[in-house]
Amino acid sequence: MIHIDFRDPRPIYEQVYDALRDLIVTGVLAPGEKLPSVRELAGTLAINPNTIQRAYRELEADGYLCSVPGKGSFASLSDTARNAHRQELLARFAALAGELRAAGVSEEDMIRSIQGGEET
């Protein structure tokens, strides 16, 4: 489910945040699906429970999950979170398109690639 790379320069809580966010956004974790408890996930990943708690807290603040006291945390993709993720993807796409233009790739080739056609 989640892989932690101890050589990754990002803090571990960010890796957990990103992994869970990706699982929620892609639908692997469906809205309303219960996430593992903080202790359970910390034990599985062999990391400090405070690290998991921080990732969960930030995911909740950003609208990717909701916590129910005494019940646990559940996947939840709010419209705000969905729009923020969409904007992030569009920004990454714009940066990539700029790199492709700088590399001499024509707009037509980019469009063809997006549509699933062969690159020339």
| pTM score, whole prediction | 0.73
Tens-binned pLDDT, residue by residue, of the chain (120 aa)? 799 999 999 999 999 999 999 999 888 999 899 999 999 999 999 999 999 999 999 999 999 999 999 999 999 977 777 788 888 889 989 999 999 999 999 989 998 888 886 655
Q: Which amino acid is at 88?
A: E
In terms of Cα–Cα distance, which of 75, 94, 69 is closest to 20?
A: 75
- Partners of 74 in the β-ladder: 34, 66
Strands 72-75 and 65-68: antiparallel
